[in-house]
Amino acid sequence: MDARDTELFQKVGNAFAESMASVFSMLTGREFQLKSAPGEVVDPQGAAALHQAPTILVKANYQKGLNGTLFFTLPLKEGTMLVDLMLGGEGAPAEELVGDSKDALAETFNQVMGSANQTLSDLAGETFAIANVDILALAPEASAFSEQLGQGSFQSIALPTTQEALSTTIHLLFPDLLLQQLKRKLGLAEAPAPAAPPPQAAPAAAAAPAHRAPVAAGPMPDSGNLDLLLDIQLPVVVRMGQTEMQMGELLKLTPGSILELNRSADAPVEMLVNGKHIARGEVVVVDGNFAFRITEIDSRAARIRSLG
């Protein structure tokens, strides 16, 4: 393993370890600690041997920035214990993962992928996003893994996970094609060797010098011209407030449930553009539709900087 590979696995492992620790701790209300450890190259049979027990396979399918599927594996027993903690229990294991428990774990890994992808996107200067997460419970036989993973080799990164009621290791499995894409996006791929210059032709003895017409040098394009960006569409969100809930509380919501937000009734409403705060104001009604009246707005320069 060369220095580029070592740096790649360190960056990727740290991104997912920090993301999982944050999401698991938030959803369970308990402190989780994760770290990344150097992995190994495995085939589907080797992936089945990582836990040697019934296993949960998580499939995260990329739709933006990368092309391919990232896999997680964790023991079924510890996976159901994690879900029980998220639903307000004490970490009791279950023999199967179905219904609300399966949905809760899928949402958990959706949040893990969102957080980790944000970190990787910042490193690459390009947005990475997944389309969906699939949760499967597999028998420990290699044939079950071959059917889901397909053929080929996978780079495994181990993520030891510890909490008072739970201790296990989650494995990240990167197909080689996906790993090579990520390596290039993060600028860690080996640069190609420069091509040899073509052989120089011998000059003709009696050739007359070619006459070139003078070329008028036109004005250089202004790379800072904001007009080039004015047609870009950006998502605009008006946010009245926010709150945090445990997964168990979220699954108990029904029509008529009331969520208390972290903002008083007379506080101004926030406007966010592309996830960045731009202005404050109030909600009004115009022609029967809700609208937003701006009362405070950042300067034009500040708005441009915040969207950079």
The domain over range 3-185 is classified in CATH as 3.40.50.460: no
How many Å from the N-terminal Cα to the C-terminal Cα in the chain?
36
* Of 226 and 39, more confident: 39
The SS3 assignment for 194 reads coil
Q: pLDDT band at 76, cuts 50/70/90?
A: very high
- In this structure, the number of other CB atoms found within 10 A of the CB of residue 275 comes to 11
Instruction: Look at residue 217 in the predicted model and tell me its pLDDT.
Output: 46
Mean pLDDT value of segment 100-122: 92
The answer to whether 63 and 130 have CB atoms below 8 angstroms apart is yes
Instruction: Look at residue 134 in the predicted model and tell me its pLDDT.
Output: 93
Instruction: Look at residue 100 in the predicted model and tell me its pLDDT.
Output: 86
Q: Which CATH architecture has domain 234-240+262-308?
A: Roll (2.30)
pLDDT digit string, tens, across residues 232-287: 777 888 888 888 888 788 888 888 788 888 888 788 889 888 778 888 898 888 88
Q: What sign results for the dihedral spanned by CA atoms 246, 249, 255, 260? A: negative
pLDDT digit string, tens, across residues 183-222: 999 998 765 555 556 666 555 544 445 555 454 444 444 5
Instruction: Look at residue 16 in the predicted model and tell me its pLDDT.
Output: 95
Q: Distance (Å, rounded) from C-alpha 297 to C-alpha 28?
A: 37
Instruction: Look at residue 155 in the predicted model and tell me its pLDDT.
Output: 92
Instruction: Look at residue 152 in the predicted model and tell me its pLDDT.
Output: 86
pLDDT digit string, tens, across residues 15-36: 999 999 999 999 999 999 999 9
Q: Distance (Å, rounded) from C-alpha 144 to C-alpha 244?
A: 37
* Of 69 and 303, more confident: 69
Q: Which residue matches tokens 């893994």?
A: 145
Average pLDDT of the chain, as a whole number: 84
Instruction: Look at residue 216 in the predicted model and tell me its pLDDT.
Output: 47
Task: Give me the residue spans of the domains in the chain.
Answer: 3-185, 234-240+262-308
Q: Which helix (H) or strand (E) holds 173?
A: strand 166-175
Its pTM surpasses 0.85? no
Q: Distance (Å, rounded) from C-alpha 279 to C-alpha 269?
A: 9
* Phi, psi (degrees; rounded to nearest 5) at 305: -65, -40
Q: Given 3-state DSSP classes, what are the helix, strand and coil percentages for the chain, each rounded to the nearest 5?
A: 35, 25, 40
> Which structure tokens are listed for 286?
């115009």
Share of the chain above pLDDT 90, in %: 46
Instruction: Look at residue 306 in the predicted model and tell me its pLDDT.
Output: 66
Instruction: Look at residue 221 in the predicted model and tell me its pLDDT.
Output: 45
